[in-house]
Amino acid sequence: MLGAPLALAACATTADQPPSVLSYVPPEPVIDPAYVALYAALEGEPFPVPAIDLKRIVDPKFLRREVDYATSEEPGTVVVDPNERFAWYVLGNGRAVRYGVGVGKVEAFNFQGEATIAWKAKWPKWTPTADMIARDPLRYGPLRNGLPGGPGNPLGPRALYLHRDGRDTFYRLHGTVEPWTIGTKVSSGCIRLLNQDIIDLHDRVRDGSKAIVLPIRSEAMA
């Protein structure tokens, strides 16, 4: 289990100068080398997956780690809590891999309940939904035919497709071109992860696995 990702160095002042003339310079965070390696640039991909600048993460608690997680769900299940902005991949024996996520801007944008990860894709094509085009035709209208996988594609390097009752819900778990948005309410409803994290989750999950998106507590998303 990885340790605390960020540790702030102690701040010292000079005793022979009055406080009024001292200039405070915030100390640079010291990054845990294990996390530097975890979020380093990835090789062997058809398109670049750059390293994550960990200093831009909203909160270090959203970095990937293995944690205690009591659940009755079977190993291999993915559980998303939009209130806490976490997703868990259940390992079993009271353990899970936890990832930070970004969720929908408003409650109406968020999928809730059980689904099946019907399939998963590497460097997926992205196409805006009809609702997205209707809400913002100037932004999404020109993209109605979709974008191929690659740099700049908002789904990032991997996507997991949520189906319910054999039908596409149009909700995905996917990567992001905006890593600083993890831990926030930002998307049009899909669940976004850091690119290194969605690749890790993609490699763990099997097609047909169960996914659960927990109900939203209104006070948590206010």
Say which residue the tokens 């594609």 belong to.
153
Decide if 174 is catalytic.
Answer: yes
191-192 and 167-174 beta bridge pairing: parallel
Tell me which of 11, 163, 174, 202 is the catalytic residue: 174
DSSP for 113-180, written as a single string: EEEEEEEEEES--B---HHHHHH-HHHHGGGTT-B-SSTT-TTTTEEEEEEETTEEEEEEEE--S-GG
Question: In one letter, which amino acid is 135?
Answer: R
Q: What is the DSSP letter of 110?
A: -
Decide if 11 is catalytic.
Answer: no
Tell me which of 11, 163, 190, 202 is the catalytic residue: 190
Catalytic residue numbers read 174, 190
